[in-house]
Chains A and B, each alone.
Chain A
Amino acid sequence: MSATPAGAYRVRGPSATGGGDLGRFWNLTRTLAATDWKVRFYGSALGYVWSLLRPLMLFGIVYFVFSEVVEAGAGVEHYGVILLLAMILYFFFAEVTGAGVTAMVDRESLLRKVGFPRAVVPLSVALVAAMNLALNLVVVAIFVVASGVQPRWSWLLLPIPLALMLVFATGVAMLLSALYVRYRDIRPIWEVVLQALFYATPILYPIEAVIGRSETLAKIALLNPIAAIIQEGRHLLVGGTSLSDALGSTTLIAVPLVILVGVTWLGLRVFDRMAPAAAEEL
């Protein structure tokens, strides 16, 4: 409740945003995120280092297999940088949505005992993942410099695809966390969907490989907002095939954008409707 100590206020019950006390909303979100962050590596000797090491080790394996064994990146400039960026962006999406599914249920003890803006729960999950992403992007930056990529003005635009990814992942997480309160089979379904999305997105294979086979297939693949964001991020970082090049037109960019906005809006809607009853349904 947003309490104005002097005056009386009406108790309206729980809601997603809690009536607009932004200060409290932010305090709650960052406190929950900070403790989540702490508990994640609790008891491990290397602590936070793992959040860097894990994606790097995975990247090392994937890079070896796909550049040396399969030669998927043959002929693509800076294949290693592209692969690393794409993997880290996708891991971010997977982390937000994967943890988002069970976020409300995991916070049951809190939800059933304290009245607070319910949206804090999925947003704190997104914030933790964003902190992780920020760390990982430092690694990407180091890798970019080490690979000899020349600095370019387009780097200034990189926050845009990052912000879009953050918004989209949060929207999906809100949708899933709200649905999972009532439908518990969302979790196994989403695990499979995340796997499918990983292979449907040009991460391991560059989009050029798809274009080489079928331009239509490449266009379809890039209608997926995740693929579009990764592709544009890659273009801004190291150049090469841009999103509009691959789609064949600039106007087609509207499709993944509309999907992104639509899904995010749906997530907010569903969460907002579920939030008042969350404590009862858990």
Chain B
Amino acid sequence: MSGVPAAGIAVQVDGVSKTFRLPTEQISTLKERALHPTRRVRVETLRALSDVSFEVRSGQVFGIVGRNGSGKSTLMKCLAGIYRADAGEMWLRGRMAPFIELGVGFNPDLTAHDNVLINGVMLGLTPAEARARYGSIIDFAELHEFAELKLKNYSSGMQVRLAFSVMVHVDAELLLIDEVLAVGDAAFQQKCYDVLNRSRDEGKTILLVTHDMDQVQRFCDSAMLLERGRIVTLGDAAHVARRYTELNFGISVPVAAGRELPASDGDDGVHIVEAWFQDARGPCDSVEQGAPCALCMRVRFLRPLSEPVFALEVEDAQHRRTFATSSEWDETTSGDFAAGEVITVAVSFDNWLAPGRYSLAGQVLQRGSGRRVLARAEHATSFVVSGSRAGGGLVDIPHAYSIARAAAAVEPAPEGAAG
């Protein structure tokens, strides 16, 4: 797909690579150069983008997601003409306005008025146009009373508001937005959303770098997941958002399957050998929201034991106990076990935990008075719940809305209707 893009394609990126050279011994003075003319500067190269290709159709919103350092901003800067790509071709259609890393490049010593003029012209307006639009830019940013203040006296939120306001007033058909909506107060964020929604309705093309998967799902038509400068997933926004959550939470801790847990201090005749998390296909370290899954532990008895109680609990990343269960409340008895016997305990449930990382802890207790702990395994394993329905609660219980006019009876939520 190299060469001039077909009609209807607003952004065409074809095999773009970018490598940064990072001298490990920075030679930035002539003296060092002169004293060590033959010393070769050791240069570490950082491959920020490798062979990235994608297309965005006109009028679409395209999300770019990835962890810090995955190359998102580098890609945006290449598209914006700030960095030169080492290889590949990039084609754009329509006037482009960039909004890179929280701003469009303000001069802190100038007033909002002068900065608006400079940036309007930078983004393609004529000075006369920039002057004519100054009023509506300040209006939109709600910064009237601060218009004659130098930018260095602005709060970061105010600067972003001004920058965003400039960007949406330059009649660009293509917006490159790198993490803007994270800053600014709630009211202004809503305003930004409204503008972006309107821009989309007007047929403008938007490339959006964000860490907010909810935003990706609600706002983007398609998306791309970058990791170490490469495309991991490209396509459906919901799918990309899920992959991102998995990647983000699942990368640092490897699956603990097969690893025997050390005996803890208080162990008394019982040892929790292993604990894990599994879905319908078997042990795993991540599961999608809503899917059936199970918390499991393998227990070895070192002495005979009658009717022990098994308990499992799940903590979220903030150490809040999100879910806890104990076999004590179960109708069935746990049974009698001989020394040397190894059993597996599993608690299965439909996974309605909120997206995020969780850790699993298991306990074996003595039935009856005192609930003496016989074996314990804290943080035995961790797993990730992926999904993008982040309502903000600890769990996302299946639910349904019913909205009734006044005077009409409110019907109870239909049973089993998952949201």
Residues of A bordering B, CB below 8 Å: 1, 3, 5, 7-14, 23-24, 27-28, 30-32, 35, 38-39, 42, 109-116, 182-186, 189, 276-277, 279-280
**In the bound complex, what is the Cα–Cα distance between A182 and B84 (angstroms)?**
18
CA distance A105 to B95 in the complex (A): 27
Could you tell me the distance in whole angstroms from the C-beta of B110 to the nearest C-beta in chain A? 6
Binding site for A on B (CB under 8 A): 4-5, 9, 12, 20, 28-31, 33, 77-85, 89-96, 98, 100-101, 103-110, 114, 117-119, 121-124, 126-127, 130, 173
Contact of A115 among B80, B93, B118 (CB under 8 A): B80
CB closest residue in chain B, given A183: B30
Given contacts A30-B127, A31-B117, are A114 and B28 in contact (CB under 8 A)?
no
Q: A11: which of B28, B79, B104, B117 is its contact (CB, 8 Å)?
A: B79
B93 and A7 contact, CB distance less than 8 A? yes
User: How far, in Å, is B41 (CB) from chain A's closest CB?
Assistant: 12
CB distance from A202 to the nearest CB of B (A): 30
A32 to B, closest residue via Cβ:
B118
* CB <8 Å contact, B105 and A3: no
Residues of A with C-beta under 8 A to B173: 5
B92 touches A13 (CB 8 A): no
Q: B117, A35: Cβ atoms under 8 Å?
A: yes
Q: Which residue of B lies closest to A14 (CB)?
A: B81
Decide if B105 touches A12 in the complex (CB within 8 Å).
no
Known: A114-B104, A114-B122. 12 other contacts (CB 8 A): A1-B92, A5-B95, A9-B91, A10-B89, A11-B78, A11-B90, A13-B83, A13-B85, A38-B114, A109-B108, A111-B105, A189-B30
Q: Which of A1, A12, A24, A31 touches B118 (beta carbons < 8 Å)? A: A31
A24 neighbours in B (Cβ, 8 Å): 124
Q: Are A13 and B81 in contact (CB under 8 A)?
A: yes
Given known A8-B91, A31-B117, A279-B83, contact A110–B107 (CB-CB < 8 A): yes
Q: Is the CB of B121 within 8 A of A27?
A: yes
In contact, B118 and A113 (Cβ under 8 angstroms): no
Q: How far is the CA of A31 from the CA of B119 in the complex (A)?
A: 10
B85 & A183 in contact (Cβ 8 Å cutoff) = no
Given contacts A32-B118, A183-B30, contact A277 B96 (CB under 8 A): no
Q: Could you say which residues of chain B place their CB within 8 Å of the CB of A28? A: 121-122
Quick check: B94 and A113 within 8 Å, CB to CB? no
Give 19 pairs: A residue, B residue, CB < 8 Å, sorted on A: A1-B81, A3-B95, A8-B9, A9-B92, A10-B89, A12-B84, A28-B122, A30-B127, A110-B105, A112-B82, A112-B101, A113-B82, A113-B105, A116-B122, A184-B28, A184-B29, A185-B29, A186-B30, A279-B83
In whole angstroms, how far apart are the Cα atoms of A39 and B20 in the complex? 35
Question: By the criterion CB–CB under 8 Å, are B114 and A35 in contact?
Answer: yes
A8 to B93, CA, bound (A): 4
| Nearest Cβ on chain B to A118's Cβ, whole angstroms | 10
Which 5 residue pairs of A and B lie closest in terms of their CB atoms, listed nearest first? A115-B81, A13-B84, A113-B105, A110-B105, A11-B90
What chain A residues lie within 8 Å of B77 (beta carbons)?
279
B31 close to A185 (CB less than 8 A): yes
Q: How far is the CA of A208 from the CA of B79 in the complex (A)?
A: 59
Which of A10, A38, A39, A114 meets B82, CB within 8 Å?
A114
Contact B118 A35 (CB under 8 A): yes
